[in-house]
Amino acid sequence: MKFGKEPPGVVVLYNASESLVKGEPRDLLAEQGVIACARAVADAFERVGYQVAQVPIHDDVEVALAAYPPNRWVVFNLGEGLEGRLFEEARIAWALEAMGYRFTGSSGDAIARSLHKARAKALLVARGVDTPAWWTLCHPEEVDVLDAADLSFPLIVKPVAEDASIGVGPEAVVHTVRALRERVAYIVKHYRQAALAEAFVTGREFNIALWGDPLQVLPLAEIDFSAFADRYARIVSFAAKWETDSFEYHHTPVLCPAAVDTDLGARIVIAARRAWAAIGCRGYARVDMRVSDEGRPYVVEVNCNPDLSPDAGFYRAARSAGYDYEGMVMHILEMAGWPCVWDGADFRCERSVCLEESNRDWELSPGIELSHQAVERALR
């Protein structure tokens, strides 16, 4: 497909909210993080010669994109909605599809599936992916209806449809029925949605970055919780992600590539690939999981269109796989089917050939490879 002698335009689309319709005031830190990420992505494309427009969503995506026709612009979609409204991220992707844009990342359907944590977990179970037991609670009075003997305390309690660790702090881990009731009441009141109460898996936590078609698993990353003596404080809280002056932020470093043995690496990779398929991810995604003390991986979340900031986990994994920042965003753009190749006369559309999973092994980290025997054992 030919596009002429001028490079195609890239719209870096992102949300720019000054207030939130729900939640805590500090949750705006996550919104500000999206703005910083958009700036980094736009700068990367400018460095390699693309025409770039940073386009914030202040009202509606239809209005924001009015000046950028879909036959001349591709959308690098960082939109997560406006003012914290539920499922706006999925609506943005649906709108982009309806308006005829090529855009990066997952479809609106996949985003909606991943955002609703309870429905996502049901899809994981249907695909044979282990995920911690869970209960969805719409009101604190529902806690009293549950059989306390069936609850697997401790539990971690989160808003059912938020990402970026919004609503997750030390109080999210509960050990009693009373604490569960109080946390559900907090989430319903402040976040205006149901609470997901999930069995807390003690053990290691991994982030698995995936991208491409055929699917490539990037080097595994592990959260280092060694600074936390209390096993139940070992969570990636909102403070750990966003509050730069907090203890949690400075004491949850990420180890990438992670140190895993061959069998555990195989189990993690297979679980991540199945989770990607269960949600129907496209382009790029991140799967978060906890590994029990017995070495069993449990998927706790699938993140379509995860954070791409230079200090975020996805770029850390891409860098470990040999990509610089410009290379990472260019590769993501290629997966949207937009041309990234100048042939000396004009730009042409060439679908990227991803680093294929060959018949030998998946590369996890230096010196660690998955043998076919390890994969077969993990599939049993």
- pLDDT tens, residue by residue, 160-207: 999 999 999 999 999 999 999 999 999 999 999 999 999 999 999 999
The band of 2, judged by pLDDT with boundaries at 50, 70 and 90, is very low
Q: Is there a domain that residue 365 lies in? A: no
Give the domain range for residue 68: 9-105
Q: Is there a domain that residue 27 lies in? A: yes
- What b-and-e string marks burial along 272-295, b requiring 16 or more CB atoms within 10 Å of the CB? bbbbbebbbbbbbbbbbbbbeeee
pTM attached to this predicted model? 0.88
Q: Is there a domain that residue 16 lies in? A: yes
Beta bridge partners of 159: 195
Identify the pLDDT of residue 370.
Answer: 54
Mean model confidence pLDDT for the chain: 89
Structure confidence by residue, pLDDT tens digits, 305-364: 999 999 999 999 999 999 999 999 999 999 997 544 444 444 444 433 333 333 323 444
Identify the pLDDT of residue 17.
Answer: 86
Of 20-29, 85-94, 233-242, 358-367, where does mean pLDDT reach its minimum?
358-367
Q: Is there a domain that residue 277 lies in? A: no
Of 39-43, 323-327, 367-371, where does mean pLDDT reach its minimum?
367-371
Q: Is there a domain that residue 80 lies in? A: yes
Identify the pLDDT of residue 5.
Answer: 53
Please give the sequence-ordered ranges of beta strands (E in DSSP) within 146-236, or none if there are none: 155-159, 173-174, 195-199, 204-211, 216-217, 221-223
Q: Is there a domain that residue 121 lies in? A: no
Q: Is there a domain that residue 242 lies in? A: no
Domain count, the chain: 1
Q: Is there a domain that residue 34 lies in? A: yes
- Domain holding 58: CATH number? 3.40.50.20
